[in-house]
Structure 1
């Protein structure tokens, strides 16, 4: 509507100027009228130009603001992923140093008296297991909406379809990885299909069991009925199922249930320190 009015006004101005020129008037009044209409025309033209320039500037500023917001979000995401990558790399180095010992010296291996609470003395039978392979792997999303216990993993290496891999992050186990429909899916603690062999350390002895999940809680099931385990005992991977290497920290015993033929311990799993952007896959030969 404003555009039509402006065109109409400009048309009237030019018509009047044309009529004045046709009549050949050179009087003072005629010149003043022409100057007035020219100034008025310039005023309207300048006004329209400013209006459209301001509109374009506002649009440009809004786009720049949106670009800045996008850049800020991307920067925050990059910082988070960079921190996670640094933690994952440090975790990978610790695994390679701590959990891949030289099995040629079993006496030194069995006399390990490290004070690190996340390291377990490795039993003799576990020391004979081949050394594991640790691979840093990126996590790129959930396997399905509504389930935070299944992650999609960007695995580059090739593995047998039926091989189960261990997952480690923040210097402890977080679950296992399996292949489904050509994709690698990470199953975290709390997923009903997450299961692997562990050992509970009590005093100078270890007692074997299996990780199970029920109602999103994680348990160490099928412990020997005679095992004198106590609340607070640390739990480590046993490596006997060839999923994890031996001695990786899992958690602590939170409570104990006595069953007829076995014991079951509720596992106290520490909450994750931050979002999982990377995990270390553990594969056994």
Structure 2
């Protein structure tokens, strides 16, 4: 009996150690796999860029010159608006700073699972500059349209594109800016849920981000209302998405820590005042 007990303890310890070792091996295998994929992508991009530079130098220089002019124009407009914003805050004696989101260009490495085109692994340069707070959700944008969300999972960035069951964010619908939640429904696909009954929304109404959830900033295009269903106390809208294809590159939206902290403190103070 004593030997049987010792054997059980030995087998239990052996299984535990093997599980820990397998986890470490799995993590290292994923790291090596990502490195190989990134290396192949870099090689492919370098070859394409070299060919493009060789055959289209004059045209590319002209294009980049125009892009630089547009960027300078946008920068001047931004500087002007920033100055106007600061003057407005000064005139009303406000100490609120202009906190802007941080943007990071990210690249698609591969799909997470075969035959699942809504989950992707992402390569992010300069990860140390990105918010590392646990459970922070980032927005993904492509061509100034919402593509999905992203999170940090075991040191790797994973993207959940529109249509994935884990992709959800707050939106506004139509000219009356009715609030709602963009989410996945197993029967209807990607929908806008919990829209108030009034005012009524219409087929063809544009859908934009609201910014209420601090994932995206406001007024980024999501899509259009394709159909409407009324429930007892709210409306549901199916969406014709503006961005529904996987891209090689996305912009990752990282809401500034100070802005997130300010919004969170403001929300907490409102809750405390309501409790009183």
Q: Where in structure 2 are the equivalents of 1:35-54 lying within 5 Å? A: none
Q: Does 1:160 align with 2:133?
A: yes
* Cα distance in structure 2, aligned partners of 1:194 and 1:162: 14
1:162/1:129 Cα in 2 relative to 1: closer, same or farther (>3 Å)?
Answer: farther
3-state SS in 1 of match to 2:48: helix
8 Å Cα contact 2:140-2:250 kept in structure 1: yes
8 Å Cα contact 1:222-1:262 kept in structure 2: yes
8 Å Cα contact 1:99-1:246 kept in structure 2: no
Matching residue of 1:142:
111
8 Å Cα contact 2:222-2:242 kept in structure 1: no
3-state SS in 2 of match to 1:245: coil
Greater helix fraction, Structure 1 or Structure 2: 2
Alignment length (residue pairs): 179
Matching residue of 1:276:
247
Residues 86-122 of structure 1, C-alpha deviations (whole Å, 9 max, x = no match):
9xxx8xx7xx87999649649x9xxxxxxxxxxxxxx
Matching residue of 2:183:
212
* Cα distance in structure 2, aligned partners of 1:243 and 1:280: 13
Residues 214-258 of structure 1, C-alpha deviations (whole Å, 9 max, x = no match):
237211111101121101111111111000011111101111110
Q: Where in structure 2 are the equivalents of 1:220-235 lying within 5 Å? A: 220-235=192-207
3-state SS in 2 of match to 1:179: strand
* Cα distance in structure 1, aligned partners of 2:123 and 2:47: 18
1:76/1:132 Cα in 2 relative to 1: closer, same or farther (>3 Å)?
Answer: closer
List, as ranges, runs of 4+ consecutive aligned residues in structure 1 with deviation greater than 6 Å. 96-101
Residues 29-67 of structure 1, C-alpha deviations (whole Å, 9 max, x = no match):
xxxxxxxxxxxxxxxxxxxxxxxxxxxxxxxxxxxxxxx
For normalisation by structure 1, the TM-score amounts to 0.55
Q: Does 1:133 align with 2:102?
A: yes
Over aligned residue pairs, what C-alpha RMSD do you find? 3.5
**CA deviation after TM superposition for structure 1 residue 76, in Å:** 11
Q: Where in structure 2 are the equivalents of 1:74-93 lying within 5 Å? A: 74=44, 78=48
3-state SS in 2 of match to 1:148: strand
8 Å Cα contact 2:193-2:235 kept in structure 1: yes
8 Å Cα contact 2:138-2:254 kept in structure 1: yes
1:199/1:75 Cα in 2 relative to 1: closer, same or farther (>3 Å)?
Answer: closer
1:74/1:183 Cα in 2 relative to 1: closer, same or farther (>3 Å)?
Answer: closer
Matching residue of 2:162:
189
8 Å Cα contact 1:99-1:248 kept in structure 2: no
**CA deviation after TM superposition for structure 1 residue 139, in Å:** 1.2
8 Å Cα contact 1:99-1:247 kept in structure 2: no
**CA deviation after TM superposition for structure 1 residue 276, in Å:** 1.0
Q: Does 1:171 align with 2:141?
A: no
